Homo-oligomer: A and B are copies of this chain.
Amino acid sequence: MMEDFSIEALRRVVGERGVITDEADLAPFCTDWRGMFKGRARCAVLPRCTAEVAAVVRLCAAAGVPIVPHGGNTGLSGGATPDASGEQVILSLSRMSAIRSLDVIGETMEVEAGCILQVAQEAAADAGLLLPITLAAEGSARIGGILSTNAGGTNVLRYGMARGRVLGLEVVTADGTIVSGLRQLRKDNAGYDWKQLFIGTEGTLGIVTAAVLQLAPKSRHRVTALLAVPSADDALAVLRLARQAIGETLNAFELMAGPALELVARHVGLTTPLAPAPWYVLLEASSSLPSLRDAVEEMLADVLERGAASDGVIAESEKQERELWHLRESITEAEARAGRSIKHDVSVPIALIPAFLRVADEAVMKAFPQARINAFGHAGDGNIHYNVIIPPDADSQVLNRLVHDLVVAHGGSISAEHGIGQYRVDELHRCRSAPELELARRIKLALDPAGLMNPGKVLPQTIVTR
């Protein structure tokens, strides 16, 4: 039942300025920020409120026009980039960016999908609270994208993934119905928790328009330390000692291979305050209790005495804290300057990190003798960014397959935090069984029977065709 679909009809809903058709203006919506994916779109639509989102979805549904939801365009898997057909409509919620309310006593915040993560973080901080979702793209990423991709970041170890922050959700479903569940409740076992379906499904089941997020108390004391460790096994020994000694205070436990920081030194010009080492650990802890610093110092002394670390430094000022984090955060930039790199955002059971790294390094270097491996990541969560710098003519598909097969062999995931998008969609079947894909298929067909919500993303088209 294809009805007449016109740009004019969209303009009547969202206003003149709410529809972008000019090719130059559309271009930023049609390419991901890394420039890996390029598509074409019919137009971009920017509604101003949830009712307008619903009206736009209904117009598209009636005409059989697919919708690609678009957040801050900071994704790494092409989930927000349209296909090449020029038939798809981009739905940007950037004009819906209000922080609707903030409840200090309940430690919650209601925020629209278009709100930039950092703006929401700052509003929480102004109220003496913490929105504990922290990631490199926080200055551009929007809440809708954060939730639709179940974003991770550097403090998952302590606070969990974005999913765990969501108390309430408002969505527009594939048929243009507004479903509102903007409850501020930490405990709510009344019926199916349908909001879970719209978190982490990358807009393939509906559009997230607003959410109630659970905030956390702010910690007054923070300690950041950098350690040099002889091996990945030693890094895990440090992790275990840290969990025993300062347990709940550990925000981040980042592992960086020596070559990763060599890249940073060479291409970004930042050097570590420690002597060169095979591996480094950056850890951050925070607490409301003042004895945190003493406990961290005691723990580090223990770690050094046991030989699990060969050297270490604790930041003595906020400036030094930033410098230590800057090392970690510069790895991606250094890697980009070093040549052509293929990224693998993988996770394995934490205990298997050293074994995975050993086996993967050996296999990669055997298959690609000219490769340089750039491994780093959130070891406290089992999440390794196992990136490989390879010559321009090397076959990245072969490399992907090799790495991902080893990940699966170690009980891991081929997407720890970046999602599937269009980048990994053809690889999903390699880490998900047929019964798991069948469940996904049934859910997709139940909620988006016409297949108009971000088609081609997350689920292979083959499994969603009836």
Contacts and interface: CB of A to CB of B under 8 A. Distances in A.
- The bracket for how many chain A residues form the interface is 35 or more
A178 B433 CA distance: 11
Contacts of A183: 411-413
Nearest to A247: B217
Interface in A164-182: 164, 173, 177-181
Copy number in the complex reads 2
A316 interface: no
Contacts of A446: 442-443, 445-446
Contacts of A245: 288
A342 to B, nearest CB: 18
A156 interface: yes
Contacts of A160: 164, 186
Interface stretch (A28-36, A103-111, A257-265, A331-339): A103-111
Interface in A276-302: 287-292, 295
Contact of A289 (B163, B244, B289, B442): B289
Contacts of A295: 288-290
A44 B347 CA distance: 41
A146 to B, nearest CB: 12
**Which residue, A190, A217, A239, A248, has most C-beta atoms of chain B within 10 A?**
A190
Interface in A371-422: 378, 381-383, 411-420
Nearest to A206: B439
Interface stretch (A8-16, A84-92, A118-126, A196-204): A196-204
A291 B189 CA distance: 36
A185 interface: yes
B185 A217 contact: no
A236 B150 contact: no
B185 A347 contact: yes
A288 B247 contact: yes
B150 A440 contact: no
A416 B201 contact: no
A194 B440 contact: yes
Contact of A459 (B150, B191, B249): B191
B289 A105 contact: no
Interface stretch (A66-74, A321-329, A424-432): A424-432
A267 interface: no
Given A173-B435, A184-B411, A218-B247, A189 B416 contact: yes
A440 B219 contact: no
Nearest to A419: B189
A219 B243 contact: no
A149 interface: yes
Given A190-B414, A419-B189, A106 B248 contact: no
11 contacts: A105-B239, A187-B347, A188-B415, A189-B415, A191-B420, A194-B440, A216-B247, A289-B289, A289-B292, A289-B295, A439-B447
